[in-house]
Amino acid sequence: MPAVGRLALLTLGGLASLLLAEGVLRAIDPYRGFGAATEHTWYRENVAADGGGFVLDAEMGFRPRLGTPDYGRFGTQPNAYPIDKRPGVTRLLFVGDSVVRRGRIVEALRQLAGEERHEYWNAGVEAFSPVEEVIFYERYNAAIDPDHVILTLHNNDLRSSHIAFESEGRIVLFSPHLPVTRLSPWLFQHSRLYRIALGLRAGRRHDLEALAVEVRASLARLQQLTAAGGRTLTVVLLPILAPRESWLPDERRSYELEKEMLDSLGIRHFDLLAPLEQALAAGVDVQEVPGDTWHPSDAVARRFARHLLDAGLLGGVAAD
């Protein structure tokens, strides 16, 4: 057989093997990230792609559906405040992921500081990354004309935009371990072999250094947007809700990187590590649910709120 024929047979055989491997991987575990990304299984199990509370978004991957009981037209949770600003009342906008969405720290601030001189608008979205939070703010939240934008940044927030797509009528959501700008969302959706290759490239761990660059750029963008609107920007740095000595290496490094980026950008920020350690020393149950090191309990949320107020979170920020 001529060399060209043998090469063609080898090529066809290789392609057939790849297709077979792809089919087997799809059948075994169709939603596995293979070290390239982590799936947020709650979305696939609970969110319909058509008519559900979230929609696919070309820029963010996904976002809340607006004009629903969960999110109004400005991308904030419904509240009783009028859209027209009231003289002498400072409009606070809280931006973040599930910690903000669940509102424990926001509610503790409201209870302690009151509503006579402040409004509390909540734009938190479960699973959002800082990259998506800034896009969401620019596209929807900024329209409420806040006086003070308060973003909560967690140790787990060094993340890129998500990869989201529809499968069997549900929204499937992945958090990639590399910046989404460094991969192909289309190939990720359709090829498990591509996911394996990405997983090998990322070492099956989040590339924190690369993700930090992307998050830093988003925070710098938010800094520009708020400054241009004459608004105050504050970041609240929320640590892992466990003794620091028990933090995983990636949790320690992400905390360091977030501190570095905030310092280098000159963004006003408040670190909640000290009140967390005080609460732990006092025997306070700091976790919303036992074993959940991401979401604060009501008890520690109130301590955080008191610390933030004492440190001047709302001081010197006046309404337009």
For residue 100, give every residue at least 6 positions away whose Cβ sits within 8 Å of its Cβ, in sequence order, or none. Answer: 94, 106, 122, 123, 124, 152
Note the pLDDT tens digit of each residue in 96-110. Answer: 999 999 999 999 999
Least confident of 21-35, 38-52, 233-247, 252-266: 21-35
List pLDDT tens digits, range 262-288.
999 999 999 999 999 999 999 999 999
Q: Does residue 56 register a pLDDT over 60?
A: yes
pTM over 0.85: yes
Query: What structural domains and CATH numbers belong to the chain?
Result: 41-184+203-310 (3.40.50.1110)
> 10 Å Cβ neighbour count for 115?
12
- The whole-number pLDDT of residue 201 equals 81
CB 196 within 8 A of CB 32: no
**Helix-, strand-, coil-residue percentages of the chain, each rounded to 5:** 45, 15, 40
Q: What is the pLDDT of residues 163-205, one digit of tens each?
A: 999 999 999 999 999 999 999 999 999 998 899 999 988 776 7
Place of tokens 């509370």: 53
> Does the pLDDT value for residue 27 go beyond 90?
no
Q: What is the pLDDT of residue 21?
A: 58
Number of alpha carbons in the 13 Å side-chain half-sphere of residue 137? 32
The C-alpha atoms of residue 196 and residue 48 are separated, in whole angstroms, by 27
Confidence of residue 2 (pLDDT cuts 50, 70, 90): low
